[in-house]
A and B are shown apart, each in its own frame.
Chain A
Amino acid sequence: MAGSKPNQMHLKYESQIREPLVDGNKDYHQITEDIIRPIEAKPSKLWYIGFSISVALLLFGVYSVYRDVTYGIGQWNLNKTIGWGWDITNFVWWVGIGHAGTLISAILLLFRQGWRTGVNRAAEAMTIFAVMCAGQFPIFHMGRVWLAFFIFPYGNTRGPVWVNFDSPLLWDVFAISTYFTVSLLFWYSGLIPDLATVRDRAKTKFRKFFYGTLSFGWTGSTKHWQRHEALSLVLAGLATPLVLSVHTIVSFDFATSVIPGWHTTIFPPYFVAGAIFSGFAMVQTLLIVVRKVLNLQEYITLGHIEAMNKVIVLTGSIVGCAYLTELFMAWYSQNEYEAYAFFYSRANIFSPYGWAYWGMMFCNVVSPQVFWFRKLRRNVVFTFFMSVIVNIGMWFERFVIIVTSIYRDYLPSSWSYYYSPTIWEIGFYLGTFGLFFTCFFLFAKYFPTIAVAEIKYVLKTSGENYKERMDKVEEQKVEEFAHDYAH
Chain B
Amino acid sequence: MALKRYVVGCFDDEEVLFPAVKKVRNAGYKIQDVYTPFPVHGLDHALGMRETSLHTAGFIYGILGTTTALAGMGWVFTKDWPMNIGGKPNFPLPALIPITFELTVLFSAVGMVMTFCYLCQLAPFVRKHHFHPRATDDLFVMAIECTDRTNVDDLKGFLQSAGAVEVNYQVAESGWWFGRYDVEPKLYREENPVIG
A250 to chain B minimum Cβ distance, whole angstroms, is: 11
Chain B residues numbered 11-62 whose CB sits less than 8 Å from any CB in chain A: 13-16, 18-19, 22-23, 33-44, 47, 49, 51-52, 54-55, 58, 62
Q: Is the CB of B39 within 8 A of A453?
A: yes
Q: B65's closest neighbor in chain A, by CB?
A: A178
Find chain A residues with CB under 8 A from B130 CB.
Answer: 200, 219
Q: Is the CB of A227 within 8 A of B120?
A: yes
A209 to chain B minimum Cβ distance, whole angstroms, is: 4
Q: B181's closest neighbor in chain A, by CB?
A: A212
Chain A residues numbered 16-32 whose CB sits less than 8 Å from any CB in chain B: 27-29, 32
User: Which residue of the partner chain, among A213, A224, A453, contacts B120 with CB atoms under 8 Å?
Assistant: A224
Q: Is the CB of A200 within 8 A of B137?
A: yes
Q: Is the CB of B116 within 8 A of A174?
A: no
Chain B interface size, under 10 / 10 to 19 / 20 to 34 / 35 or more: 35 or more
Determine the distance from Cα of A487 to Cα of B22 in the docked complex, in whole angstroms: 11
Q: Is the CB of B40 within 8 A of A222?
A: yes
User: Which residue of the partner chain, among A6, A28, A208, A221, contacts B16 with CB atoms under 8 Å?
Assistant: A6
Find chain B residues with CB under 8 A from A28 CB.
Answer: 37, 137-138
Contact of A238 with B by CB under 8 A: yes
Chain A interface size, under 10 / 10 to 19 / 20 to 34 / 35 or more: 35 or more
Contact of A392 with B by CB under 8 A: no
Q: Is the CB of B14 within 8 A of A11?
A: yes
Find chain B residues with CB under 8 A from A7 CB.
Answer: 13, 15
Given contacts A197-B37, A216-B124, A216-B126, are A174 and B99 in contact (CB under 8 A)?
yes
Determine the distance from Cα of A106 to Cα of B181 in the docked complex, in whole angstroms: 32
Contact of A293 with B by CB under 8 A: no
Q: Is the CB of B102 within 8 A of A175?
A: yes
Contact of B133 with A by CB under 8 A: yes
Besides A228-B116, A228-B120, A454-B38, 8 other A-B contacts (C-beta < 8 A): A165-B76, A166-B85, A185-B110, A212-B181, A216-B123, A223-B49, A226-B39, A457-B38
Determine the distance from Cα of A27 to Cα of B83 in the docked complex, in whole angstroms: 65
Contact of A181 with B by CB under 8 A: yes
* Chain A 456-480 interface 0/1 with B at a Cβ cutoff of 8 Å (1 = within): 1100000000000000000000000
Stretch at the interface among B1-9, B90-98, B187-195: B90-98
Determine the distance from Cα of A200 to Cα of B136 in the docked complex, in whole angstroms: 7
Q: Is the CB of B163 within 8 A of A193?
A: no
Determine the distance from Cα of A160 to Cα of B80 in the docked complex, in whole angstroms: 8
Q: A451's closest neighbor in chain B, by CB?
A: B38
Chain A facing B: main interface SS? helix
Find chain B residues with CB under 8 A from A454 CB.
Answer: 38
Determine the distance from Cα of A161 to Cα of B16 in the docked complex, in whole angstroms: 65
Determine the distance from Cα of A295 to Cα of B99 in the docked complex, in whole angstroms: 44
Contact of A225 with B by CB under 8 A: yes
Q: B134's closest neighbor in chain A, by CB?
A: A200
Q: Is the CB of A225 within 8 A of B98?
A: no
Find chain B residues with CB under 8 A from A197 CB.
Answer: 37, 136-137
Q: Is the CB of A6 within 8 A of B15?
A: yes
Determine the distance from Cα of A453 to Cα of B36 in the docked complex, in whole angstroms: 10
Stretch at the interface among A43-51, A65-73, A229-237, A300-308: A229-237
14 A-B pairs within 8 Å (CB atoms) are namely A3-B19, A6-B15, A7-B13, A181-B106, A182-B106, A209-B181, A216-B117, A219-B35, A220-B35, A222-B47, A225-B43, A229-B39, A453-B37, A457-B39
